[in-house]
Amino acid sequence: MKALICGAGIAGLTLAWHLERDGWEVKIVERAPRFRKGGYMIDFYGPGMEVADRMGLRPRIVRMRYPITEIEYVDHAGRKTSGVRITGELAEQVFSLMREDLAQAVHDDLRSPIVYETSVAGIEQNASGVTVQLTDGTVETVDLLVGADGTHSRVRELAFGPKERYLRYLGRQITVYTLRDERLSREIGTRYRTLTVPGLMTGAYALRDDSLAMLFLRRASDPRPPADIAAELTRQYGHLGWILPEVLPRCPPADQLYHDQVNQVEMTEWSRGRVVLVGDACQAVSLFAGHGASLAMAGAWVLADELRRAGDDPTGALLRYHARMAKAVADTQRFGRSFIEWMAPSTRRRIVARDLLMRLAALPGGSRLLAGSLIPAGTDLITKRPDNRAGV
Ligand SMILES: Cc1cc2nc3c(=O)[nH]c(=O)nc-3n(C[C@H](O)[C@H](O)[C@H](O)COP(=O)(O)OP(=O)(O)OC[C@H]3O[C@@H](n4cnc5c(N)ncnc54)[C@H](O)[C@@H]3O)c2cc1C
């Protein structure tokens, strides 16, 4: 059986990893000119970690993790206003990693070819296969086409229609970039430090090579990116003090940073015949939910698991994969939406309430409560198959 996967992110790579071990011939096409570097830190846990364990990745994840010991909220002068120490269950179960390091770990163990600077240009399918036109002018005929190409998925657009039907914009834009600064990097140490004013949030964490990652999350009614991202950040954050006067002038050009609108993707179907979506392309939960990479890996594993059981006709497997994932995704999306005002409060009252909650979480036992509210009980996605009453 042959599969073409569009997108070499965590979902696409994880699916390729499993399919090739199940005897599939897999080819990946990726829009970027080379393996994607740069990015942002993710907290990785729950069902994705269960999949990573099954892939033997735990030792590497443990080596790659950043030991974030505290989340600190600071004021304009950089003084701590509240915070929570990452101890106990949170420290044991949550792995803070760079997205690229996790993707690299999966990539290093893959044999399937990745064709860069290439995407899907057109799709035609019948009962026995899919003919895919690629942007490099070649044509592939495969048993399965997978759209693992993120929230703005091209495969979704070709198979299901315009993205506006499926994107739920959460009213925020996110920018992340890194800069070299040994002094600031040392000063931040193992803390994640963050400053919030109504509608604007910024955070900083140190990376291994004496660099610093800066994250900017801002309220914006218009989801379109600003014409000049660096100028817009300076305009909005330039007067807020803390380390911002030092780091804003060093914002790189748009092609060297990560910028996107914050979206969730909501769909009632994830496949059309032999075309299927995986990861953010069909189930993006947003950074507010904090489980996107974990669910992307879980989705890739569940899809491979159903295909493994299906034999030669994958279409029923694609429906069962969606049925297995749908509730966990919907629950996580709901959780994500409820978390927006905690992570990026839009009023001063909300900021005060958040600081109060953080002080409570800092009390003995608070870390366990926080872990309970943040860590999903989603590992049964991997271990449990629902009964087949739906008849799919
Ligand atoms: C700031 C931030 C913080 C986050 N924090 C967390 C967290 O703490 N925990 C967590 O679990 N998740 C977190 N997430 C979410 C997580 O990163 C995503 O859910 C996850 O990376 C989705 O993986 P994916 O492979 O589905 O999509 P992506 O990572 O978007 O990968 C898609 C791939 O497809 C490629 N592509 C796109 N379009 C095309 C095209 N037309 N043709 C070919 N290739 C294409 C892209 O270049 C990319 O390589 C965070 C996200 C952000 C932005």
Could you tell me the residue range of the domain that residue 45 belongs to?
2-167+263-381
Residue ID of nearest Cα to ligand 1 atom 19: 292
> Is the CB of residue 174 below 6 angstroms from any atom belonging to ligand 1?
yes
Mean pLDDT of 23-52: 93
Q: Which residues pair with 42 in a beta bridge?
A: 97
pLDDT tens digits, 16-34: 999 999 999 999 999 999 9
Helix (H) / strand (E) containing 317: helix 315-343
> Is the CB of residue 181 below 6 angstroms from any atom belonging to ligand 1?
no
Burial 322-352 (b: 16+ CB within 10 A, else e): bbbbeebbebbbebbbebbeebbbbeeeebe
> Is the CB of residue 31 below 6 angstroms from any atom belonging to ligand 1?
yes
- Residue of 15, 99, 136 to mutate, ligand 1, most atoms within 8 A of C-beta: 99
Mean pLDDT of 175-198: 95
Query: What's the gap in Å between 174 CA and the centre of ligand 1?
Result: 13
Query: What's the gap in Å between 150 CA and the centre of ligand 1?
Result: 6
CATH code, 276: 3.50.50.60
Question: Going by C-beta distance under 8 Å and a sequence separation of 6 or more, which residues neighbour residue 251?
Answer: 177, 229, 230, 233, 234, 257
For residues 221 and 227, give the distance between their C-alpha atoms in angstroms, rounded to a whole number.
15
> Could you tell me if residue 249 is inside a domain?
no
Residue ID of nearest Cα to ligand 1 atom 38: 149
- Residue of 166, 287, 340, 381 to mutate, ligand 1, most atoms within 8 A of C-beta: 287
Q: Which two tokens stand for residue 383?
A: 């271990």
User: Per mean pLDDT, which range of 126-140, 237-251, 333-347, 362-376 is the poorest?
Assistant: 362-376
pLDDT of 349 reads 86
> Is the CB of residue 135 below 6 angstroms from any atom belonging to ligand 1?
no
Question: Which ligand 1 atom lies nearest to the CA of residue 260?
Answer: 53
Confidence label for 271 from pLDDT (cuts 50, 70 and 90): very high
SS3 135: coil
> Is the CB of residue 343 below 6 angstroms from any atom belonging to ligand 1?
no
pLDDT of 357 reads 75
> Is the CB of residue 73 below 6 angstroms from any atom belonging to ligand 1?
no
| pLDDT beyond 60 at 253 | yes
Contact 95, 43 (CB under 8 A): yes
Confidence label for 343 from pLDDT (cuts 50, 70 and 90): confident
The proportion of the chain whose per-residue pLDDT surpasses 90, expressed as a percent, equals 78
> Could you tell me if residue 191 is inside a domain?
no
> Could you tell me if residue 28 is inside a domain?
yes
> Could you tell me if residue 207 is inside a domain?
no
Amino acid letter for position 248: L
CA distance readout (Å), 83 to 67, 78, 79, 287, 372: 16, 13, 11, 20, 18
Contact 134, 31 (CB under 8 A): no
SS3 126: strand
Query: What's the gap in Å between 365 CA and the centre of ligand 1?
Result: 34
> Is the CB of residue 378 below 6 angstroms from any atom belonging to ligand 1?
no
> Could you tell me if residue 302 is inside a domain?
yes
Tokens 């315009």 correspond to 162
> Is the CB of residue 11 below 6 angstroms from any atom belonging to ligand 1?
yes
pLDDT tens digits, 222-249: 999 999 999 999 999 999 999 999 999 9
> Is the CB of residue 100 below 6 angstroms from any atom belonging to ligand 1?
no
Q: How many domains does the chain have?
A: 1
Cβ neighbours around 10 below 10 Å, total: 31
What does pTM read for this prediction? 0.93
Residue ID of nearest Cα to ligand 1 atom 29: 9
pLDDT tens digits, 88-138: 877 888 899 999 999 999 999 999 999 999 999 999 999 889 999 999 999
pLDDT of 390 reads 40
| pLDDT beyond 70 at 364 | no
pLDDT of 392 reads 40
pLDDT of 374 reads 57
Residue ID of nearest Cα to ligand 1 atom 2: 287
> Could you tell me if residue 224 is inside a domain?
no
> Could you tell me if residue 238 is inside a domain?
no
> Could you tell me if residue 153 is inside a domain?
yes
Amino acid letter for position 298: A
| pLDDT beyond 80 at 306 | yes
